[in-house]
Chain A
Amino acid sequence: MSLTNIKIERRQRWDKPFAESWAEGELERVLDLPIFKSMDAERFPSQLSLQGIVRNDTRLVHYEPGDIVAREDDYGSSAFIVVSGEVTVVLPPGLPADLLGRGVVSQPEGWWGAIKRIFNRSRFNETRHYAKEGWDLKGDLRYQQGIARVHINNLEEQLADCQLALLGPGELIGEVAALTRSPRTASMVVTQPSELLEIRWQGFRDLRKYDDGFRTRVDDIYRERNRVSYLKALPFFSELEDNQIEIIAEQTLLESYGDLEWKATRRKGASSSVPSEPTIVEQGDYVDGLLIVLNGGARIVGKHHAGQQTIGFSRSGDFFGMHEIVLSHQGQTEHEYPVHQYSLTAMGHADVLRIPTDLIESKLLENLASEQIQQLIKQSAYPRASVDQGFQEFIGEHQYTNGRSTMVIDTSRCVRCDDCVTACARNHDNNPRFLRHGRQFSNLMVTNACMHCVDPVCMVGCPTGAISRRIDGEVVINDETCIGCSTCATACPYDNIRMVEISDPAGNPAVDAKTNKPIVKATKCDLCVDNKGGPACERACPHDALSRVDLTDTATLNVLLRRAANFL
């Protein structure tokens, strides 16, 4: 039997445009907006023309008074340009969580609540009391142009005590989230009928790449709105005066490496290994600046024999290059100038801030006492490759560095009793929120359980803000506002979110009143945030085989590996 090639068309970037369709004359009207009019279309390559970007990567969205454009702390993936009307930015402390469609952060239930839960447990899986009672929301949920939106009733009353900023036509908003995929810093609502042009991050980045004016404008806004406050919040700069921070912010560069869509590559079976990762800095190069990982993750790599060895990992807020700069400043290096001891590569995707070395020396190091310098040398020292090298590479290969609370099972202790699964089910509607299954390195298994990532890509694009991050870092889903769109489940690169069909307490399946299709909800591990004792799975293990750990924490890993190796 002979095999023949089947010729199919390769999928292209704009096969699925952002806007489902453009009404007649709408596209021309958008291209006539001053922001696009001022752009030089000639500077865009033919395959990524300005008109193509606007047609395929933007959409016009109409908002009614009370609609939420974006919520504070949401992981946005698009920016907006006000076309008509007005957007109200609600400044911190902002609107209450329940008004924004999120679950109210509550204290864990007490003893009485826990006892009541034992007796109130349904016989059926995934039962919900509101399946028949309707939405228990302060706001309404409404669909427009296929987009689900939480709508605030009595908006004027709700905003009465808030600090507000108004943005009119031509203003650009939400650019930081589109640029760095970081949480939105404020909520935005609409108080009058308004029209906004939403630009998805792919198009936004291309506009910034090919138009100098747009890039300058975006960077200026970003610098003005975010960079100063971000730098000020970092430990090394907390004692610097405002004007010094502003000078540093002025000269700080924002750089992006890798592919934001790394999860798609990962799904196809490709793994992340050092040679395939884009290099941010090379070992042995001159240290031209202090690097701060803003978003995503990076790997610290050192040359070892003919290959490269992972030394450690950097995540959001981590520094790279400080050790060399300080040592060089103190004259403790071979060269007269600082040289990188290790390379830094982007794992999937990384946004980094680069602060010029001379600024670090003049604004920071010159003002520090010798004890502080010594402390800085200690703090900025690179981790020694003390963890099992194979395990380190395993973590990097599958990008488990993203997790803050990864479920790891020591299979040389686990008796496969499934008590962890049973305990999880007892705490979560008789349906466990994880699978006791996953990739394994030696006797350590990383299971399919939500890792509560540092960079939770599952939160990008949730239309109702149902998935959010609590102040302690737990990523939780508000069941009441989850519309079952599967955006989060599709986005999770680790396949740790599951869509489940729900029923009422009597076991009757809940179905859509219009389509008669089952109502589904996104479910995942919530670290038992409502339970006073912490994660039930971890507490239920009779042999201490299951732990929730941060896989970048060298000390914890060493304990795990040593304990595993010594266990009978």
Chain B
Amino acid sequence: MLHSATRKRRLINALLLLLSCLLAIFSIRVAEVSLANPNELSGWILFTAVTVLLFYAARKRLSTLPLGRVAHWLQVHIYTGLFCLFVFFIHTGWQWPNGWFEIGLTVSLIGTIITGVVGLYWSRTLPTALTRLGDEVLYERISGFCAGLRNEAEEIVLAAVEKTGSHALSDFYTRFAHGALSRPNFHWRRLYSNYSPLHRHERKLMAAKRLMSSNEATAAERLQELLQQKDLLDAHFTLQGALKHWLFVHLAFSLPLIPLVLLHIILVYSFGLA
């Protein structure tokens, strides 16, 4: 159940979006009736909306200016993005473009909106998943912690081999644990399920333990703890990594959008409407 303030905010924003869409349709119809070019009007509405989308990035950088809360700007950004999608389809007449330039422009806009929606979904779901993990870890420190775990694991295994002369633990380490501990691992499946490779490793360690001496088994228990810690770090690495890096994909689609839109306007006025 959503908090009443959130519900109220979403309802108001949705109504404003609906109103804006109706207003856009009405204006375009009026343009049609008055024998003006409706595509020209929808194009300029779309350009204005795309420009409004840019304000969010500008606001984030101008933190010294009293420009209100970024959270409010984000709401404007999200709903304007959805408005853009609606106006875009009206502008194109709900048809897929046929020229390379127009396809590029469309991919850029649709890609921006899709990555934006994915980012929005992740920003609403992944923080809760991160909180459920328990301990907070700063993303930048994950690599350092992983290196610490790997070094300790190697020391444990080497010490066990020296002490017992047996290779049961070292075999398990080189075949399974080394890969898991060598670096932070990004698992896509963690983003949409409770996936964890830990159970698989633990099952294999359990099987390997049957072949170990008591000294090796003690070392294996510590190795298991290290694998559990590494699994937690991997979960942070995946979830925080997704939250941090989706923005780069979003930017990869949105950055070409402005020059493409400007070029589109120039081309249209030079060869189309002129």
Contact = CB atoms under 8 A, between A and B. Distances in A.
Interface of A: 111, 114-115, 117-118, 411-417, 419, 422-423, 426-427, 436-437, 440, 442-443, 445, 531-533, 536, 538-545, 562-563, 566-568
B94 to A, nearest CB: 32
Given A411-B127, A414-B127, A114 B3 contact: no
A416 B140 CA distance: 11
Contacts of B3: 562-563, 566-567
B136 A415 contact: no
Closest 4 CB pairs of A and B: A533-B66, A423-B63, A532-B66, A566-B3
Given A416-B243, A443-B131, A114 B125 contact: no
Interface stretch (B37-45, B68-76, B109-117, B250-258): B68-76
Q: Label chain B's interface by main secondary structure.
A: helix
Contacts of B69: 538-539, 541, 544
Contacts of A540: 60, 63, 70
B274 interface: no
Contact of B71 (A417, A543, A562): A543
B130 interface: yes
A566 B2 CA distance: 5
B138 A437 contact: yes
Given A417-B243, A533-B66, A568 B124 contact: yes
Contacts of A563: 3, 5-6
Contacts of A539: 63, 68-70
B71 A114 contact: no
A540 to B, nearest CB: 5
A532 B67 CA distance: 10
B5 A411 contact: no
Interface in B60-106: 60, 62-71, 73-74
A568 B128 contact: yes
Contacts of A440: 136
A542 B5 contact: no
Nearest to B74: A542
Nearest to B240: A416
B139 interface: yes
Contacts of B214: none
B67 A533 contact: yes
Contacts of A423: 63
B244 interface: yes
A117 B70 contact: no
B123 interface: yes
Nearest to A423: B63
Contacts of A422: 63
17 contacts: A115-B65, A412-B127, A414-B127, A415-B123, A416-B244, A419-B70, A427-B64, A442-B131, A533-B65, A540-B63, A540-B70, A542-B71, A542-B74, A543-B71, A543-B123, A563-B3, A567-B3
B1 interface: yes
A437 B138 CA distance: 8
B64 A413 contact: no
Given A412-B131, A414-B127, A544-B71, A566 B6 contact: yes
A543 B123 CA distance: 8
Q: Label chain A's interface by main secondary structure.
A: mixed
Interface residues of B, number: 33
B1 A415 contact: no
Contacts of B73: 542
B65 A111 contact: yes
Contacts of A567: 2-3, 6, 124, 128
B119 to A, nearest CB: 9
A43 B63 CA distance: 63
Most buried by A among B60, B66, B67, B240: B66
A542 to B, nearest CB: 5
Given A541-B70, A544-B71, A411 B130 contact: yes
A343 to B, nearest CB: 34
A377 B123 CA distance: 47
B177 interface: no
B232 interface: no
Nearest to A566: B3
Given A437-B136, A531-B64, A542 B128 contact: no
B126 interface: yes
A473 B42 CA distance: 53
Contacts of A536: 63-64
A550 B66 CA distance: 23
B66 A111 contact: yes
A380 B6 CA distance: 34
B260 to A, nearest CB: 26
Given A419-B70, A544-B69, 8 more contacts: A412-B128, A415-B123, A415-B243, A426-B63, A443-B128, A536-B63, A538-B69, A539-B70
Contacts of A545: 127
B77 to A, nearest CB: 9
A141 B155 CA distance: 56
Contact of A114 (B64, B70, B131): B64
B64 A117 contact: yes
B219 to A, nearest CB: 18
A488 B235 CA distance: 39
Most buried by A among B63, B70, B127: B63
B127 A542 contact: no
A541 B71 contact: yes
A411 B136 contact: yes
Nearest to A562: B3
Contacts of A532: 66
Nearest to A538: B69
B60 to A, nearest CB: 7
Contacts of A562: 3
A414 B64 CA distance: 21
Nearest to A530: B64
Contacts of B67: 533
Contacts of B1: 566
Nearest to A109: B64
A418 to B, nearest CB: 9
Contacts of A114: 64-66
B163 to A, nearest CB: 15
A533 B62 CA distance: 12
A533 to B, nearest CB: 3
Contacts of B70: 419, 539-542
A216 B114 CA distance: 77
A232 to B, nearest CB: 39
Contacts of A442: 131
A445 B136 contact: yes
A543 B64 contact: no
A539 B74 CA distance: 12
